[in-house]
Copies of this chain bind each other. A is one copy, B any other.
Amino acid sequence: MKPYAEMSREELQQELAELKKEYQKYQHLELHLDMSRGKPCREQLDLSMGMMDALYSGADLTCEDGTDCRNYGVLDGIHEAKVLLGDMMENHPDNIIIYGNSSLNIMYDTVARAMTHGIMGGVPWCKQDKIRFLCPVPGYDRHFAITEYFGIDMIPVPMSPTGPDMDLVEKLVSEDETIKGIWCTPKYSNPQGYSYSNETVRRFARLKPAAKDFRIFWDNAYGIHHLYDVNQDYLIEILAECKRAGNPDLVYKFASTSKITFPGSGIAALATSENNLVDIKKQLKIQTIGHDKVNQLRHVRFFGDICGMVEHMRKHADIIRPKFEAVEEIFDKNLSGLEIGTWTKPNGGYFISFDALPGCAKEIVANAQKAGVKLTGAGATWPYGKDPQDSNIRIAPTYPPLEDLKIAAELFTLCVRIVSIKKILKEKSAEA
């Protein structure tokens, strides 16, 4: 097919009429498909059912160091869980705190603590005039929701396949001491599936922030979430790199087993420098006596060690890889050459990012919704839900069954074509 922009008005109108007929067929199917959130599917969850047998009534719930996991205590997590998640995060167990079931909750609490108590003796953010965060875009809506909730100004920074625009990041961070943080999903980023290049990570580790209480919020949500055995992205470990660069306290790094075992019933962790850990534990010991050690032990007993976890992730990949490939195949088949959109082809993570022609995203999502396919709201990938180009759409292929997903992807491309033609026709009218 030739690009839509090069077609005549008549050609476009004929194409539009055919596409609309097809769209009506989908409407008659009364679909109820959900591609809106990065949720594992049932088959993925089934992979972890063995974890329910890892502890049983006859089991000894004692840690290697003699701690009875069933009782109070151990503020920062049992040692064997720190080893397992340390291996997963590529950090030393001593740099890790194991929390509850949600890394998002850790991030929220981290911002909340900075608001009321500052960072390492600094002025509490709520007592400072203005607080700003850099937000690589497109990015993760739940990150942006936290900073918005606390009244923190968000400054978008463009993403590229190698990571955020580091020239801009360096400039802003070094000049403006109201900038206190940046949200990063450095590996298989949400939503593009990009992984930061070596240079990007090195430049992050060497930032010279104007604000002493600036921290990188490094959400390594997809650290071992590869789709392929061979084509795996590699990310330089940020804590070690910061240490080498003489910036040891620059980063808070987050991860969880939410998309490894059960979302909402996994374990989450923070890795950071010793100075930051001391600072954080002053607060943590007030907030809780300790997190769920039984669930920590359950994870350790189920996986044994990181090898067990890596093997487990292969099984996840086997289930979701065909879904990513199906979406990409349908996008290729239906959109290639039309020049009405671009999309990413990640090696891991949970999302594909689609960029429509400017001004089309909202309408595409609305049209898909009308035909029974729920997508992440257009704009969600931008701070305040406002995509200035109205272009980016996040595709989440993991949750629907493969056959449903194919239907949803077909419908999605149909909506993209219809909305794009309408836009081009409108432009041609304006020109005429």
- Chain B residues within an 8 Å CB radius of A120: none
Q: Is A92 an interface residue (CB 8 A)?
A: no
Residue of B nearest to A41 (CB): B71
User: Knowing A57-B49, A71-B40, A149-B286 touch, does A116 contact B108 (C-beta < 8 A)?
Assistant: no
Q: Is A291 an interface residue (CB 8 A)?
A: yes
| Docked CA distance A26–B292 (Å) | 37
User: Which one of B52, B69, B146 lies within 8 Å of A55 (CB-CB)?
Assistant: B52
| Docked CA distance A73–B263 (Å) | 9
Pair B71/A286 contact, Cβ less than 8 Å: no
Minimum C-beta distance from A143 to chain B (A)? 11
Pair A288/B70 contact, Cβ less than 8 Å: no
Pair B71/A262 contact, Cβ less than 8 Å: yes
User: Knowing A100-B292, A101-B291, A292-B264 touch, does A150 contact B116 (C-beta < 8 A)?
Assistant: yes
Q: Is A8 an interface residue (CB 8 A)?
A: no
Pair A69/B288 contact, Cβ less than 8 Å: no
Q: Is A102 an interface residue (CB 8 A)?
A: yes
| Docked CA distance A142–B289 (Å) | 9
User: Which one of B53, B124, B265, B295 lies within 8 Å of A70 (CB-CB)?
Assistant: B265
- Chain B residues within an 8 Å CB radius of A58: 49
- Chain B residues within an 8 Å CB radius of A70: 45, 48, 262-265
Minimum C-beta distance from A240 to chain B (A)? 30
User: Knowing A56-B53, A59-B52 touch, does A264 contact B73 (C-beta < 8 A)?
Assistant: yes
| Docked CA distance A49–B70 (Å) | 9
User: Which one of B45, B102, B117, B291 lies within 8 Å of A264 (CB-CB)?
Assistant: B291
Copies of the chain in the assembly: 2
> A239-258, CB under 8 A of B: which get 1 and which 0?
00000000000000000001
Q: Is A314 an interface residue (CB 8 A)?
A: no
Pair B71/A264 contact, Cβ less than 8 Å: yes
Pair A52/B57 contact, Cβ less than 8 Å: yes
Pair A265/B295 contact, Cβ less than 8 Å: yes
Pair A42/B57 contact, Cβ less than 8 Å: no
Enumerate A81-126 residues with CB–CB distance to B below 8 Å: 100-102, 104-105, 108-109, 112, 115-117, 124, 126
Minimum C-beta distance from A163 to chain B (A)? 26
> A281-297, CB under 8 A of B: which get 1 and which 0?
00100111111111100
| Docked CA distance A283–B149 (Å) | 8
- Chain B residues within an 8 Å CB radius of A101: 100, 291-292
Q: Is A68 an interface residue (CB 8 A)?
A: yes
Residue of B nearest to A73 (CB): B264
Pair A289/B102 contact, Cβ less than 8 Å: yes
Which one of A42, A50, A57 has the greatest number of beta carbons of chain B within 10 Å?
A57
Can you identify 11 A-B contacts, CB atoms within 8 angstroms? A39-B71, A49-B57, A52-B55, A52-B59, A56-B56, A70-B265, A72-B264, A102-B291, A264-B290, A264-B293, A292-B292
Known contacts A105-B288, A265-B295, then 5 further A-B pairs from the complex at CB < 8 Å, ordered by chain A residue: A52-B61, A100-B292, A102-B291, A109-B287, A264-B290
| Chain A residues in the interface with B (C-beta under 8 A) | 37, 39-40, 42, 45, 48-50, 52-53, 55-59, 61, 68-73, 100-102, 104-105, 108-109, 112, 115-117, 124, 126-127, 142, 145-146, 149-150, 258, 262-265, 283, 286-295
Kindly list the 7 A-B residue pairs having the minimum CB-CB distance in the complex, ordered from nearest.
A265-B294, A72-B263, A45-B70, A108-B287, A70-B262, A49-B57, A149-B286
